[in-house]
Every structure is written in structure tokens, then in C-alpha cells.
Amino acid sequence: KAGVTQTPRYLIKTRGQQVTLSCSPISGHRSVSWYQQTPGQGLQFLFEYFSETQRNKGNFPGRFSGRQFSNSRSEMNVSTLELGDSALYLCASSPGKTYNEQFFGPGTRLTVL
């Protein structure tokens, strides 16, 4: 099976712009979670989708949003980018509802100038 893929791998944006990141989970996996990783804050949970429904949400402002499509692919959107949004955004998929092993993608490195 192909692993979790994320596109794009690298992105440079300027403050105020918006960005959309994409994640394709492993075939058959219905849960997709998104995390933001920065040197200062570590890995922080953004949200999780299961069967197109947001099942869980972290403590991020409303500028961060996401969705999941019927084929389980997921996108996350960040509007009105701030310098502090520069981070590695990781997506992880798992087969079902419980948090057993999560399979991570390589991440999207977002730099906000």
C-alpha cells in the first residue's frame, strides 16, 4: 500500500495570504489527523476527521480549518497567514475510530515571510 502523501512538500507565502494543504491517507483509512510542529511548541493537534466529519479539534484559532472528502482525502486551510504559522504541518491517517497506530506523511514545510 502506498503511504500517506502530502502536497505540496514546501511552501513559501507572505503574511495575509491563505494556503491550502492536501493529505491523501493510506487506502482504506478513514481517519485523518493534522498536526502543527514548531521548535517552540512541539507537535500540536489541529483537528481530526473521520468519515467526512470533524471528530476532534485542538486549540487553534478559526483561521485554521479543514475538511475531508468522501474518498478520505483531507485538506487544511489557513487564512490570513501570520509569521507564527511557519511550521511543519503533518498529516496522519489511521484505519478506524480509535487512536492506535497513526501513519504519518512526510509533512508540508510552510514558511511565512
Torsion (CA) 96, 71, 22, 59 in degrees, nearest 10: -40
Could you give the C-alpha distances from 49 to 14, 33, 76, 82, 105, in angstroms and in order? 28, 6, 11, 25, 16
Strand pairing of 42-50 and 53-57?
A: antiparallel
User: Backbone phi, then psi, for 102, in 5-degree steps?
Assistant: -105, 140
Q: Is 59 in the site for other proteins (CB under 8 A)?
A: no
Q: Is 60 in the site for other proteins (CB under 8 A)?
A: no
**Stretches 20-28, 61-69, 77-85, 95-103: which one binds other proteins (CB under 8 A)?**
95-103
Among 92, 93, 110, 112, binds other proteins (CB under 8 A): 92
Q: Is 76 in the site for other proteins (CB under 8 A)?
A: no
Whole-number minimum distance, CB 28 to other proteins, in Å?
17
Residues of this chain that interact with other proteins (CB under 8 A) are: 4, 33, 35, 42-43, 45, 48, 55-56, 88, 90, 92, 98-107, 109
